[in-house]
Structure 1
Amino acid sequence: MVQMLWHGVAGAAVAGVSHRPCRWHSTHVSASHSTGSPARATGPWARLVAVSSTHPAAESGDPSGDEATETVRQLRDVATPAGAAALDRAAALLAEGVDAVAALTRLRAEVGVDLAGPAWGFARQRARARAVFGADADRLLFTGDTLEQAGRPVLATRRAHRLLAGGATAVADLGCAAGTDTIALARAGARVVAVDRDPVARELTAFNTAALGLADRVQVRAADVVDLVAAIPDGPATGGRVAGCAAALLDPARRAGGRRLLDPDRWSPPWSTVSRLLDVLPTCVVKVAPGLDHDRVPPGVEAEWVSAGGSIVEALLWGRGVSAAWRRAAQLRPDGSVAELTADADPGLAPVAGVRAWLHEPDPAVIRSGLVALVAEQLDGSLVDPTIAYLTSDAAADSPWVSSYRVAEVLPFNLKKLRALLRARGVGRVTVKKRGSAIEPETLARQLRGPGSGTAVVVVTRVAGAPTVLVCEPAQAR
């Protein structure tokens, strides 16, 4: 799963690469030619250039073949020593705060037209990547979409160690994109076959693994994941190999044209391939959309949702050979540790009761995994409404799985009465939260702004089916 975009202004190269053959457009302000061709790759750079000497789409007559070939050429150019120097120069201009137009003008003069746009685009993505990838970012190649897709290294490492815990030594990374999962698997000790039909993905993966000294553990291969999974023998899920490996990680492309594909049957590869992999290869993990319908999860397959900073960051389906629970919620903590909550079977609904002294907002991983009832039991709490994922209890909570608020007032939703109540309490600024309501939080917050110096959390929801407002005091956050 790869998508690629250079963001720039006049003189910057613009590319789009997906699981399908890529689209390439380039624009130059000047008609001048490059000051010279990039030097032929030598040493560790040679492996990248040798990975894919032909382009399957071009050979097959695909109308996008020429464009994809041009994208690959650009990647190979920045993989040369001259390209590395151009990247360093672009990074220096970024660090100096030079604006894009001036930077590209200087780069074209210093490193040539062919390298200027790609070097600037890659350097910008490296700068963005540092917050997540640290020092590694300055050795890796990313694009806007592949960086968004890459996720957090700590979670990739966690996935890799769990996948290898059963004794697997070789793993197929099916749809390798920029190679971040391949890197995590190789660092965890696996031999990795990185597979993608997209030549840009293969170039990125080869470059990045070589840059981190992992080339001897990684083989980059051109293949279609649909065909590879279809070739796994049918039968009981007790064996089987894909791309010569007994374990696999699959990350289907879930975007097209910059938009999310909500229907799993439109993913690439589609849900039929995901389902088959889970059926015939016990040691596997598949990244899926966080909104995946629970009815899609095959029996015996563990579904896991992972959150960080109050948002879902990934959802996973674990093959039957590595499944250890019915559902799992995981939360990446600020210190890098991971809290986990599991259930071996559906815990059902939590009890429902009226609003008590405290309101608790469950972590989104708990909500998506269907484990709200487990948290309610831990808190001796109950739901405020059978259809709303807010919990309430008599006591404060000491749990990583909820954000808690002390309830000060409960009243039916009425804007005029709510304004009067807040003014009487000296509240001038509010944070609005909602669940089960059509109100716009930002709009309501403006409507409730007043002269007071106090603050409050206003929760608009349903209680026993009725539109209700809870005026709360912030107390604890996950």
Structure 2
Amino acid sequence: MDRDGIAQLLSPAGWALLSALPPYDESRTLALSERMRDEGIDPALVAAALTQSRLRAKAAGKFGTFADGMLFTAAGLEQATRLSVGAHHARRFRDAGSTRIADLTSGIGADAMAFAGIGLRVLATDVDEATAAIATVNLRHFPDAEVRHGDGLALDLEAEGIDGVYADPARRTSSGSRVFDPAAYEPSLDAVLAVRERVPALGLKLGPGIPHTALPADAQAQWVSVDSDVVEVGLWFGPLAPEGPGRSALVLRDGEAHVVQQTSEERPPTGALGGYLYEPDGAVIRAGLVGETAAQVHGRLLDATIAYVTSDALVPVPTATAYRVLDSMPFGLKRLRTYLRGRDVGTLTIKKRGTAVVPEQLRRQLDLRGSTRATIILTRVAGSQQVLVVEPV
């Protein structure tokens, strides 16, 4: 959204229009737009208001009811931290004793809101003027939060009294394409990492797909998932990482938080299929901590290259999904079709890991029409393609 659109929305008439819009409904947008224009409302304001209405509806998943009073850009919403995750970021700074945080790449202000929400003083900056204006709106309820338009890396951190720094470098081009090279982030990863020489309490949010080899040796790297969706990896330095350097996973599920911490570099053992199968949360897998799950359930890997753990015991683990193993067989279309039809299966859940089989294509080939449900897992067991028939515990 450009500056003119923001300026119109922030006028008394614009804000009143935005507040009066009904809940967003794509099927009614055209008619609503035409009606407002027929009433003499500036078409540019109509477009800006409807865009914000659409973005607010989309933002509800990240911000809940807070989204109703916020402004967004499409790119800013895409990269914005969920409030539930931002709260964990904020607590790291608070627990480390930080009191004034510089958010060097504030975007629409999501993390800055979380910081300010627990009483931290915040100086938020963004190089884009329109985005900085939106962050100012979103932080308007926090008297100790200041937003500036400018380059956060140019701040005189010492003069500003900053004792904690946070950054979420842009990882998309202006056209929306993902950037995978840390040197091409905006600002670059190295440029942000240099800040820890001035303020040791540095926290970074990066995309969860960054390879382990690209991570600094002195970082506590924590992959985060929200309801099984891996959303980020946080890099924490100095007093923000009381655990010390290493890898961990933060699993937020059903309103609860669970942490898996790296305890060993040893690879977990592999072995025969047991009575139970465990699928670690994606954050645990990205963090390379499947071995921690194996240790928790007294289990082993089915295959050295696959992130499935098997065990003879059922152990409640909040960071992994457990399945009871009902049957197993070598993968073969005819054999599997006969097996499932013989059990009157009509609805089939297909999970896979370590195989090129396309679930939807397989489902069509099986052509099941029965009345019962089943779950199968396609994977490798000791290098061999297998079908595991399971049921969630």
TM-score by length of 2: 0.93
For residue 77 of structure 1, what is the aligned residue in structure 2? 8
C-alpha distance in 1 between matches for 2:109 and 2:372: 50
1:441 aligns with 2:370: no
2:161 is aligned with 1:249: no
Runs of 5+ in structure 1 lacking a partner? 1-14, 16-70, 232-239
1:261 and 2:179 equivalent?
Answer: yes
Please state how far the C-alpha of 1:446 moved relative to its aligned partner: 2.2
CA drift of 1:131 comes to: 4.3
SS in 1 for 2:54: helix
Q: Does residue 88 of the first structure (1) align with residue 19 of the second (2)?
A: yes
In 1, are the aligned partners of 2:101 and 2:164 still within 8 Å (CA)? yes
In the other structure, the counterpart of 2:199 is 281
Match of 1:388, SS state, is coil
CA deviations over 1:51-77 (Å, ceiling 9, x no partner): xxxxxxxxxxxxxxxxxxxx1122122
Match of 2:146 in 1: 219
State the number of aligned residues: 389
Contact between 1:433 and 1:458, CA under 8 Å: does it hold in 2?
A: yes
Give the counterpart of 1:103 among 15, 25, 32: 32
Q: Residues of 2 paired with 1:353 and 1:209: CA distance? A: 54
Secondary structure of 2:204 counterpart = strand
Distance 1:301-1:463 versus aligned 2 partners, 3 A rule:
same
Secondary structure at the residue paired with 2:19?
helix
- Maintained 8 Å contact 1:329/1:342: yes
Quote the Cα distance in structure 2 between the aligned partners of 1:294 and 1:100: 45
Q: Post-superposition shift, 1:141?
A: 0.7
Q: 1:440 to 1:158 in 2, by over 3 A?
A: same
Taking a change above 3 Å as real, the CA distance of residues 375 and 77 of structure 1, as seen in their structure-2 partners, is same
Match of 2:249 in 1: 329
Contact 1:190 1:217 in 2 (8 A): yes
Task: Summarize the Cα distance change of 1:390–1:418 in structure 2 as closer, same or farther, 3 Å threshold.
Answer: same
TM-score computed with the length of structure 1 as normaliser: 0.77
What is the DSSP-based 3-state SS (H/G/I as helix, E as strand, rest coil) of the residue aligned with 1:203?
helix
- CA shift for structure 1 position 111: 2.7
- Give the letter for the 2:232 counterpart: E
**Which deviations, in whole Å up to 9, do the C-alpha atoms of 1:316-370 show, x marking residues without a partner?**
0001221133221111121x22111112x54321110011111111111111111
Deviation for aligned residue 1:133: 2.4
The structure number with the bigger radius of gyration is: 1
**Within 5 Å, which residues of 2 pair with 1:146-165?**
146-165=76-95
Tell me the distance in 1 between the aligned counterparts of 2:197 and 2:266: 27
Distance 1:98 1:459 in 2: 39
Deviations 1:345-402 (Å, cap 9, x if unpaired)? 5432111001111111111111111111111111011000010000001122311121
Partner of 1:143: 73
How many angstroms apart in 2 are the aligned matches of 1:363 and 1:243?
41
Cα distance between partner residues in 1 of 2:106 and 2:286: 27
- Quote how far apart the aligned CAs of 1:253 are: 0.5
Structure 2 residue matching 1:186: 3-state secondary structure: helix
Q: Measured at CA, do residues 468 and 297 of structure 1 come closer, stay the same or move farther in structure 2, by a change above 3 Å?
A: same
CA RMSD for the aligned pairs? 2.0
Structure 2 alignment gaps of length 5 or more: none
Residue 424 of structure 1 and its aligned partner are, at CA, apart by 2.3
Query: What's the CA shift for 1:205?
Result: 0.8
Looking at structure 2, the residues matched to 465 and 280 of structure 1 have their Cα atoms a distance apart, in angstroms, of 50
Q: In structure 2, what is the Cα distance between the partners aligned to 1:222 and 1:96?
A: 34
SS of the residue 1:111 aligns to: coil
* CA apart distance, 1:258: 1.7
User: How is 1:281-430 mapped onto 2 (pairs within 5 angstroms)?
Assistant: 281-325=199-243, 326-334=246-254, 336-343=255-262, 345-430=263-348
**Separation in 1 of the partners of 2:26 and 2:358?**
38
1:146, CA displacement in angstroms?
Answer: 2.1
Instruction: Tell me by how many angstroms 1:227 deviates.
Output: 4.1
Letter in 2 for 1:248: V
Aligned 1:162-241 pairs, distance under 5 A: 162-210=92-140, 213-214=141-142, 216-228=143-155, 241=158
Q: 1:409 to 1:300 in 2, by over 3 A?
A: same
- The question of whether the paired residues in 2 share the 8 Å contact of 1:427 and 1:450 is answered with yes
Paired with 2:25 and 2:379, the residues of 1 have a C-alpha distance of 49
Matched residue of 1:252: which SS?
coil
